[in-house]
A and B are shown apart, each in its own frame.
Chain A
Amino acid sequence: MDIAFRIRRFNPEVQGKNKPYWQEFQLTDVEETDRVLELLHRVKWEQDGTLTLRRACAHGVCGSDAMRINGINRLACKVLVRDVGTKIQVEPILGLPVLKDLVVDMEPFFDHYRSVMPFFVNDTAVPTDGRERLQSQEDREKFDDTTKCILCAACTTSCPSFWANGQYVGPAAIVQAHRFIFDTRDQAWKERLEILGEPNGVWRCRTIYNCTPACPREIQVTKAIGEVKLAIRAGKREGIATPVGPIAESNS
């Protein structure tokens, strides 16, 4: 089949292209199972080498190629032609400065990520037998969903609250904090709840719900944010997080 591409372009170095504009490309011999990423590569490799985008793994795990495809935040490698049809419009994710074509400045996004203490804290001595800390399957399951985050920014850049105020920490950072707040082995949950209780923390979320369908990992983002809000209100973390899906268990 044939595909009509409409791609948002911007090149800061070239006169006439240094303001955002649309450019159209035609592709023939496209299969309905082709990924949009493959089609972008065909444009770049066969027609216009200046087309610029980020990508790496090409199967939805590394989080490099979040972009707005037909108006919805998706990973270009996880959307097939049969999902979006033969007219495909591609533009950069919104709310972050565009550097060139589909490449945005990710630094503000990662700054927010780094602000929520996105790392495991437990300063108590490790078990005397030198082995792992124990955790029940039930406790492990409570934060399973938020361990899936790949930091692609699809959720944060789909959020109108983030578009309106870039100081808002955003859904992805809250998801990352959730992963530690509800991990029974972690000890810094209070500090994280304090950080997220600040004006640009969770309370900027108005439960608009764009983030959840935007997540290519199908994380229940709005639910996770809600649990963090509840924990801040309750001043505790017990009895709040509930599993959203099955997790792996031992095959004993």
Chain B
Amino acid sequence: MKTHQYEAVVVGAGGAGLMAALYASKGGAKVAVISKLYPTRSHTGTAQGGIGAALGNLEEDKPLWHAYDTVKGGDYLADQNAVHVLAEEAIDAVIELEHMGLPFDRTPEGRISQRRFGGHTSNFGEKPVRRACHAADRTGHMILQTLYQQCIKQNVKFFDEFHVIDVIMNGGVCVGVIAVELGTGELHVFHSKATLFATGGWGRVWSVTSNAHSLTGDGAAVAFRRGVPMQDMEFYQFHPTGIYRMGILITEGVRGEGGVLINNRGERFMEKYAPNIKDLASRDVVSRAIYLEIREGRGIKGKDYVYLDITPETVNRYLAEAGETRRLDRETVEKKLPDILDFCRTYLGVDPVKEPMPIQPTAHYAMGGIPTNVDAEVVIDDKWTVLPGMYAAGEVACVSCHGANRLGTNSLVDLVVFGRRGGKAMAEYVKGIDYSPLPANPAADIEAEIARIRGSKGGTRPGVLRSAMQKTMMEGVGVFREEAGMQKSLDTIRELKSRFQTDLHIDDTGMKFNTDVIEAWELGCLLDLAESAAASALNRTESRGAHSREDFKQRDDEKWMVHTLISRPQGLAPDGGAASFEINTNKKVDQSLAESDERFKPKVRSY
């Protein structure tokens, strides 16, 4: 077993990880990035429509308006100190990306071009505003490429296709991670002063998802098993417009450019649910509207999907109706949404400039995750106690700037703003301290667990358990929830965990590139996170943002202006159903903006 020593270790090479690595490195730290994928395969690269920042390049905009939209979009659960940081630093972060060479689209004046996006408004909800800075419909691709390029320029050390499978704690301090080198199967110990988790989300818990196969929540699960609580796991966003049955994302930018949602009667149904900004309401609102239309028999052909229509004929009819002078033509759609057109033509045989796209909500983004403060330091209780040496940023983290529902474009803002803060904080932290010692045999537990999985000769393949998990979570812990359904999902997950322990079957007993074993280990992570999401959801007896309960339809600000912190017994293996979770609801939402500005106080949320 090899042992490496780096002052700062970054786990994950998406936008947040690369930004953190870049800043830790520029700050003088000796940095290593460990990623189970080649960095350019990271899921940041699939983000499409834009990154929000109140640049005001096309019309007046202010960070305070961005903050307001974010707080309202998050249904008042977001910590307002974090939202303030997000909205203020977004501007500088986007400008910095441009200085790093990111090829944003341009206005006629040569400035960064901006488009409309769901939930982003001017003047506290008055009308949609052009805030999303874009590079065609591949903004995330350009962010990922640009940050990776800058890391190469900065000579950051990468361990590509090294998969982190455990975090090492010693005396309440995080001192590194264990990774398996995929090509050889060998375990490596990474001894660090500071470790930042930027491992992304866990959309693969659900059956219809926009997420890559790789999004199995490894970083969150690893931390969870070593005593870090998970925060707000009940808040998981379903993006309204995934390609029917496949889940592939169709950017909100389609609606930003004028696209509309249509039911089987040809009605633009969002006029009913969000009379003011209609199809550009925030994602939880739109996803629920689609489900309600389908439930009332207004899905297309009576099935569980509706249409997203960007054909110029339809869009121009509604633009004329709204008294707007702008008109859309085919060339503009081709120019602004090339990848979306390609997806639909490739996977559906549908040409969106001629006919509407069949869409349904798709599991998309975790608002919850590893709790952190605004410097990306991991905090482990309701008193904001810092876990020394451990950091998290991006989707895996819960800072919480998204609250109960994230606004479109804010994931990219989150990862550059808090990735950068994490990198800076680590560079400072490692200067002042020595390495804490490693415990004896730090890899013993995980080595035994991997050996157990590799030697599993039971009767159930991992794929069977994974499908069962995805199905039950889609049914019970999806867009709409009620107690019996959630309880059933929780029971099912616990039974699946038990089978994972006792009846798993693995074909590949080798060491080199053993994706059979790795996929099974990832499934264990998904099961842990599914269980925590279901249990957290059951516990929250209200509806807020993405957590929408049929048995508790109202938001309850008296009782629930708090975050959920869920903890599990420590240990590596999913524990087969005997889990006794502890749920703490004493962590109050930060409302610092509301203290000086009434507009940030919770109120009825309408669009």
Contacts and interface: CB of A to CB of B under 8 A. Distances in A.
Interface of A: 11-14, 33, 35, 41, 44-46, 48-50, 52-53, 55-64, 78, 80, 99-100, 103, 106, 110, 114, 118-122, 126, 130-137, 140, 143-144, 147-148, 150-151, 179-180, 183, 185-186, 218, 245-252
Given A50-B516, A186-B101, A59 B248 contact: yes
Closest CB pairs A-B (n = 4): A120-B101, A45-B463, A49-B507, A134-B110
A50 B101 contact: no
A143 B512 contact: no
Interface stretch (B141-149, B223-231, B564-572): B141-149
Contact of B100 (A60, A80, A120, A137): A120
B103 A143 contact: yes
B335 interface: yes
Contacts of A103: 513
Contacts of B334: 246
B124 interface: no
B58 A252 contact: yes
B252 to A, nearest CB: 14
B513 A119 contact: no
Given A46-B461, A50-B508, A100-B513, A252 B108 contact: yes
A13 B256 CA distance: 53
Interface stretch (B132-140, B487-495, B579-587): B132-140
Given A49-B516, A132-B95, A248-B336, A140 B37 contact: no
Contacts of B248: 58-59
A251 B512 contact: no
B101 A247 contact: no
9 contacts: A41-B463, A50-B508, A58-B248, A62-B41, A80-B346, A183-B101, A250-B114, A251-B115, A251-B130
Given A56-B212, A59-B46, A136-B110, A14 B510 contact: yes
Nearest to A78: B346
B230 to A, nearest CB: 24
Interface string B183-218: 100000000000000000000000000001110000
Interface string B136-167: 11100110011001101100000000000000
A45 B67 CA distance: 45
Contact of A140 (B105, B212, B347): B105
A126 B99 contact: yes
B540 interface: no
B602 interface: no
A8 B508 CA distance: 17
B40 A62 contact: yes
B108 A59 contact: no
A217 to B, nearest CB: 9
B101 A99 contact: no
Contacts of B348: 33
A218 B463 CA distance: 34
A147 B104 CA distance: 11
Nearest to A246: B335
Q: Max chain B CB contacts within 10 Å: which of A49, A140, A185, A248?
A: A248
A179 to B, nearest CB: 8
B73 interface: no
Given A55-B213, A56-B214, A119-B149, A133 B41 contact: no
A132 B108 contact: no
Nearest to A185: B101
A140 B103 contact: yes
B422 interface: no
Grouping DSSP codes into helix (H, G, I), strand (E, B) and loop, the A interface class, with mixed when no group exceeds half, is loop
Q: Max chain B CB contacts within 10 Å: which of A62, A64, A120, A249?
A: A62
Nearest to A137: B106
B449 interface: no
Interface in B84-137: 95, 98-101, 103-116, 130, 134-137
A114 B145 CA distance: 13
B364 interface: no
Contacts of B43: 56-57, 62
Contacts of B257: 251
Contacts of B135: 147, 248
A172 to B, nearest CB: 11
B507 A48 contact: yes
A178 B505 CA distance: 49
A71 to B, nearest CB: 20
Contacts of B107: 137, 250, 252
Interface in B293-339: 326, 331-332, 334-336, 338-339
B388 interface: no
B138 A132 contact: no
A249 B37 contact: no
Contacts of A58: 212-213, 248
B508 to A, nearest CB: 4
Interface in B499-558: 505-508, 510-516
Nearest to A113: B152
A181 to B, nearest CB: 12
A56 to B, nearest CB: 4
B389 interface: no
Given A50-B507, A103-B513, A147-B103, A137 B108 contact: yes
B592 to A, nearest CB: 26
B455 interface: no
Contacts of A120: 100-101, 146, 149-150, 153
Contact of B101 (A60, A61, A119): A119
Nearest to A58: B213
Nearest to A245: B338
Contacts of A59: 46, 246, 248, 343, 347
A30 to B, nearest CB: 15
Contact of B508 (A45, A49, A57, A248): A49
